[in-house]
């Protein structure tokens, strides 16, 4: 459930993290994981009421606002494009001429996709991802109605790694 804090508004992440740490089912064996998460993603309070900066700033890994705006949460589409483009080259170290030809074909393909989008053709997503987006939206839209730990638990039911 700790990773689900990425779906909290940035102002609520610390509160959600503390709520998880204060759960009745919290086991002290998890201290190492919680300490790591706090140091890396949240930031640890210091003695003079300041916060030590986390290794990865909150806006870098938080996806709440991105999700609200309908933007991708991951870079999977970019990685998918890279894999497909690499496959179109059919070798690891192409010559300049082979690369130029592959780029021309890719430009033609992207122009065709662009024209389709501009003419009103809908973007296609796999059904399983559409269903996941719908479930996540339902949970996120209901976050004001439930306790923060319940919200995080509902998110955790929908997110797999």
**Whether residues 7 and 58 fall in one domain:** yes
User: What's the structural domain count of the chain?
Assistant: 2
pLDDT in tens, 13-48: 999 999 998 887 878 888 899 999 999 999 988 888
Give the closest residue to 11 by CA, choosing from 59, 45, 44.
59
Domain that holds residue 96: 76-118
For tokens 């940035």, the residue is 10
**Whether residues 67 and 137 fall in one domain:** yes
User: What separation in angstroms does the CA of 133 have from each of 16, 38, 104?
Assistant: 22, 28, 34
pLDDT in tens, 80-126: 999 999 998 888 899 999 999 999 999 999 999 999 999 999 888 88
45: three-class secondary structure by DSSP? strand
> Mean pLDDT, to the nearest integer, of 53-67?
93
Give the closest residue to 154 by CA, choosing from 13, 134, 140.
140
**Cα 88 vs. chain centroid, distance in angstroms?**
28
**Whether residues 68 and 87 fall in one domain:** no
Give the torsion through C-alpha atoms of 69, 129, 156, 83, to 10 deg: -90
pLDDT in tens, 117-161: 999 998 888 899 889 999 999 999 999 999 999 999 999 999 876
**Whether residues 66 and 130 fall in one domain:** yes
**Whether residues 52 and 80 fall in one domain:** no
Residues 6+ away with beta carbon under 8 Å from 159: 3, 4, 136
Give the torsion through C-alpha atoms of 7, 11, 16, 17, to 10 deg: 100
pTM of the model: 0.77
pLDDT at res. 125: 83
**Whether residues 7 and 50 fall in one domain:** yes
**Whether residues 65 and 136 fall in one domain:** yes
For tokens 């610390």, the residue is 14
**Whether residues 6 and 67 fall in one domain:** yes
**Whether residues 14 and 59 fall in one domain:** yes
Residue 57 confidence class, pLDDT cut points 50, 70, 90: very high
Interatomic CA distance for residues 144 and 151, integer angstroms: 9
**Whether residues 15 and 94 fall in one domain:** no
> How many residues are given for the chain?
161
**Whether residues 62 and 81 fall in one domain:** no
**Whether residues 36 and 51 fall in one domain:** yes
Structure tokens that stand for 59 in this block: 């806006």
pLDDT at res. 26: 77
């Amino acid at each position: 459930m700790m990773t689900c804090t990425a779906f909290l508004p940035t102002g609520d992440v610390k509160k959600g993290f503390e709520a998880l740490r204060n759960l009745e089912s919290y086991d002290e064996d998890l201290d190492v994981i919680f300490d790591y998460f706090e140091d890396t993603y949240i930031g640890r309070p210091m003695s003079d009421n300041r916060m030590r900066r986390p290794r990865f700033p909150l806006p870098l890994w938080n996806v709440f606002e991105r999700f609200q705006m309908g933007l991708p949460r991951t870079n999977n589409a970019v990685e998918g494009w890279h894999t497909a483009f690499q496959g179109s080259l059919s070798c690891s170290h192409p010559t300049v001429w082979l690369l130029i030809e592959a780029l021309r074909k890719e430009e033609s393909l992207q122009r065709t996709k662009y024209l389709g989008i501009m003419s009103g053709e809908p973007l296609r997503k796999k059904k399983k991802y559409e269903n996941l987006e719908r479930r996540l939206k339902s949970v996120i839209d209901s976050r004001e109605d439930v306790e923060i730990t319940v919200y995080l638990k509902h998110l955790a039911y929908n997110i797999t790694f």
